[in-house]
């Protein structure tokens, strides 16, 4: 069916659907026909105080979870969805929905996308549409195209952001020839489908444990570091960065437009979770998919040739998950959609709860405190300080590289973040003269990071009591490098200062005249602040708990039937 025929059919059916919804909700049918100018999408991220996120299992409003919006789906019908959208609008929250498994009917699409919220004639429209279609590439492409046409052809939600799970503007087929440096296996959806569907939101798959990521645990190891956890942490950041670089360069998502809303300014809202190994036999400790997938640190992965010693301490901790959130934000991701947690607490085997995951994600994104946070007061203050830099009108990202200078290595062919398990991100403001950097090391050995030059100013990490520093041309110069210890995250705060830069450490210690006066970024705390410290890395990793329970109880045939779906979407 052509797009024009589809629109005409929707207009006819839409009148009947709108009337039906109006009767169900007790709203006059004529009230759904408001005709004012369609609004732009509402902001999810606008400093200093706007931080909104979505979560797969938050379908109702009020939801009792700070900073999260409800995204109801069709499972309970249009009337239910519109009740939640109405409640969200009344609470002055952005409006979003999920569309899963199959497209909306023309009547349902018209009822949802033409309505003004709060009903019957409020100012809000649906702003975010998260699709999760399944099947072949052709089927998912066609269904996503249909959804986009329904949104764009509506009279009120026409400007909404629309995306499909794991659909990004990266080229395929995968790591060998495409733009995703982290991909294990071929990409089902690529830039070709992203462009043809005309989505404007990249819903990147960022699940640690996904079988779409390269990892040391794969039977034919395709990750450059010997530790499983380095890929669980670093690879999602690498994929998110690759997507954002393309959005910045080709889809209106550049630094100046990051917070600008509109159909031509594409956004990346990644699907995130602490862990999910659905369908990933490489991270199944008993190598038996029929009872569900369970990664038990300290148990061997015989199918991968890994001993029990090699799997110890290899889960990503709660603090690691928070650090990932900050790394994403510092690299330009607009917001996130949080999937169900896939972790059981070591020893007790009790679930890591959705509420705990909400808290960990929020803390990493903007420093919202929560009960059980193990960061000390200085660490919590350092996490919150990042918001000060983000709030500046001239704030910018400090780096978008996946190959930072680690341990003095600059070889462009060396996958430095991958090989070292170490990565850094930052945000800076010239007007504030502030630079905040988060450095993370998921390796089991210490590493040195050199930040080089940010904007046009060199970065120095050593200062004496007078606020002076010294130059050293060595790639491992102490004055230009920062030590990040094994398994640790640190936040470093730099000031933009004009000061003496001596020719050597000896000259600085002698306080002689061998110096130049330069404007530089200078670290204002010798070791920075240790942050995101809540890290038990021996917790047990599973798919989302509901799926794991069903797989374990249902037997091998049911597991095989559901596994096709999990491999693609890893959620239902």
Mean pLDDT value of segment 375-400: 97
Q: Could you tell me where the DSSP H helices lie in 374-437?
A: 377-390, 416-420
How many other CB atoms sit within 10 Å of the CB of residue 456? 7
Rounded Cα distance between 424 and 441, Å, is 9
Contact by Cβ (8 Å): 63, 70:
yes
- Which pLDDT score is estimated for 379? 97
Judge whether residue 31 has pLDDT over 50: no
Among 1-10, 89-98, 297-306, 323-332, which stretch is predicted with the lowest mean pLDDT? 1-10
Listed in sequence order, the DSSP H helices in 343-429 are 354-366, 377-390, 416-420
Other Cβ atoms closer than 10 A to 261: 18
Name the H helices within 35-177: 78-90, 106-114, 137-152
Cis-peptide, bond into residue 527, ω within 30° of zero: no
> Cβ–Cβ contacts within 10 Å for residue 458, how many?
18
Cβ atoms of 275 and 346 closer than 8 Å? no
The vertex-392 CA angle with 492 and 462, nearest 5°, equals: 25
Q: pLDDT > 90: what percent of the chain?
A: 81
Assess contact for 352 and 343: CB atoms under 8 A: yes
Quick check: 20 pLDDT over 70?
no
Distance CA 93, CA 86 (A): 10
What the block records as the tokens of 520 is 């530089």
Residue 62 has pLDDT above 80, yes or no: yes
Alpha-carbon distance of 471 to 479, in angstroms, equals: 7
User: Which range among 123-127, 246-250, 558-562 shows the weakest confidence by mean pLDDT?
Assistant: 558-562
Following CA atoms 6, 12, 17, 18 in sequence, which dihedral angle do they give, to the nearest 10 degrees? 110
User: What is the distance between the alpha carbons of residues 430 and 316, in angstroms, rounded to a whole number?
Assistant: 34
Q: What is the dihedral of CA 368, 369, 375, 377, to 10 degrees?
A: 100
CB 301 within 8 A of CB 311: yes
Query: How many angstroms separate the CA atoms of 277 and 228, rounded?
Result: 13
* Per-residue pLDDT at 124 exceeds 70: yes
> Cis omega (within 30 of 0) on the bond before 48?
yes
Residues with Cβ < 8 Å from 460, sequence gap 6 or more?
469, 479, 480, 501, 520, 521, 522, 523
**Residue 469 and residue 460 in contact, taking contact as beta carbons nearer than 8 Å:** yes
Distance CA 144, CA 556 (A): 32
The bridge status of strand 335-338 relative to strand 96-100 is unpaired
- CA separation (Å) from 417 to 116, 124, 209, 412, 443? 47, 43, 18, 12, 10
Element (H, E) at 469: strand 469-470
Write out the H or E segment, with its range, that includes residue 229: helix 228-250
pLDDT reported for residue 537: 98
pLDDT at 545: 81
What is the per-residue pLDDT across 429-477, written as a single tens digit (0 to 9) for each? 999 999 999 999 999 999 999 999 999 999 999 999 999 999 988 889 9
d(CA 405, CA 197): 38
Residue 357 has pLDDT above 50, yes or no: yes
Residue 550, number of CB atoms within 10 A of its CB: 16
Decide if pLDDT at 564 tops 50. no
| 8 Å CB contact between 162 and 263 | no
**Cα 243 from Cα 342, distance rounded (Å):** 25
Predicted TM-score (pTM) of the model is 0.91
Least Cα distance to 212 among 255, 181, 248 occurs for: 181
**What's the confidence (pLDDT) of residue 413?**
73
Residue 343, CA distances (Å) to 130, 291, 357, 472, 543 in order: 24, 16, 10, 46, 8
Domain map of the chain by residue range? 3-374, 391-531
pLDDT higher than 80, residue 560: no
Report pLDDT digits (tens) over 389-416: 999 999 999 999 999 999 999 887 778 9
Residue 325 corresponds to which tokens in the numbers above?
């959130």
Which run of H or of E encompasses 231? helix 228-250
Q: How far is CA 198 from the centre of its chain?
A: 22
Output the pLDDT for position 547.
61
**293-308: per-residue pLDDT in tens?**
999 999 999 999 999 9
Residue 397, CB-side half-sphere exposure with 13 Å CA sphere = 24
pLDDT given for residue 179 in this prediction: 87
pLDDT of the residue at 176: 55
What the block records as the tokens of 202 is 């990249």
């Amino acid at each position: 069916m052509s797009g024009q025929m589809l629109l005409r059919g929707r207009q006819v059916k839409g009148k009947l659907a709108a009337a039906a919804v109006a009767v169900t909700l007790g709203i006059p049918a004529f009230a759904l026909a408001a005709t004012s100018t369609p609004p732009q999408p509402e902001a999810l991220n606008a400093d200093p105080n706007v931080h909104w996120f979505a979560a797969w299992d938050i379908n109702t409003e009020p939801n009792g979870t700070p900073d999260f919006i409800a995204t109801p789906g069709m499972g309970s019908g249009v009337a239910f969805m519109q009740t939640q959208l109405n409640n969200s609008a009344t609470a002055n929250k952005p409006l979003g929905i999920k569309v899963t498994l199959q497209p909306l009917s023309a009547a349902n699409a018209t009822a949802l996308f033409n309505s003004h919220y709060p009903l019957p004639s409020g100012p809000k429209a649906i702003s975010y549409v998260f699709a999760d279609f399944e099947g072949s590439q052709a089927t998912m492409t066609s269904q996503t195209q249909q959804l986009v046409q329904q949104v764009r052809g509506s009279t009120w939600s026409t400007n909404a952001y629309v995306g499909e799970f794991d659909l990004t503007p990266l080229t395929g087929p995968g790591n060998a020839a495409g733009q995703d440096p982290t991909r294990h296996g071929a990409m089902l959806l690529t830039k070709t489908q992203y462009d043809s569907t005309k989505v404007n939101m990249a819903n990147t798959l960022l699940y640690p444990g996904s079988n779409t990521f390269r990892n040391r645990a794969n039977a034919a190891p395709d990750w450059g570091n010997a530790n499983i956890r380095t890929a669980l942490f670093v690879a999602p950041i690498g994929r998110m960065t690759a997507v954002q670089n393309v959005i910045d360069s080709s889809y209106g998502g550049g630094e100046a437009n990051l917070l600008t809303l509109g159909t031509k300014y594409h956004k990346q809202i990644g699907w995130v979770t602490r862990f999910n190994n659905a369908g990933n036999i490489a991270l199944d400790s008993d190598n038996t998919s029929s009872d569900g997938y369970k990664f038990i640190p300290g148990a061997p992965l015989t199918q991968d040739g890994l001993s029990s010693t090699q799997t110890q301490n290899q889960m990503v901790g709660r603090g690691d998950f928070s650090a990932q959130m900050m790394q994403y934000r510092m690299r330009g991701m607009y917001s996130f959609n949080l999937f169900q947690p896939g972790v059981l607490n070591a020893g007790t085997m009790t679930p890591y709860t959705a509420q705990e995951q909400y808290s960990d994600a929020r803390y990493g994104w903007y420093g919202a405190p929560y009960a059980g946070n193990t960061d000390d007061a200085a660490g919590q203050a350092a996490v919150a300080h990042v918001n000060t830099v983000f709030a500046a009108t001239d704030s910018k990202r400090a780096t978008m590289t996946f190959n930072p200078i680690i341990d003095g290595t600059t070889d462009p062919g060396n996958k430095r973040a991958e090989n070292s398990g170490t990565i850094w991100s930052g945000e800076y403001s010239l007007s504030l003269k502030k630079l905040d950097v988060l450095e993370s090391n998921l390796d089991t050995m210490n590493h040195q990071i050199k930040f080089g030059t940010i904007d046009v100013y060199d970065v120095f990490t050593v200062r004496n009591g007078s606020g002076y520093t010294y130059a050293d041309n060595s790639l491992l110069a102490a004055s230009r490098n920062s030590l990040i210890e094994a398994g640790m995250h640190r936040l470093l705060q730099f000031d933009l200062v004009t000061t003496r830069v001596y020719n050597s450490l000896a000259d600085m210690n002698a306080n002689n005249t061998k110096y130049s006066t330069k404007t530089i970024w200078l670290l204002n705390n010798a070791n920075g602040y240790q942050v995101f410290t809540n890290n038990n890395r021996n917790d047990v990793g599973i798919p989302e708990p509901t799926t794991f329970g069903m797989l374990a109880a249902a037997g091998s045939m049911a597991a095989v039937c559901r596994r096709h779906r999990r491999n693609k979407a890893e959620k239902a």
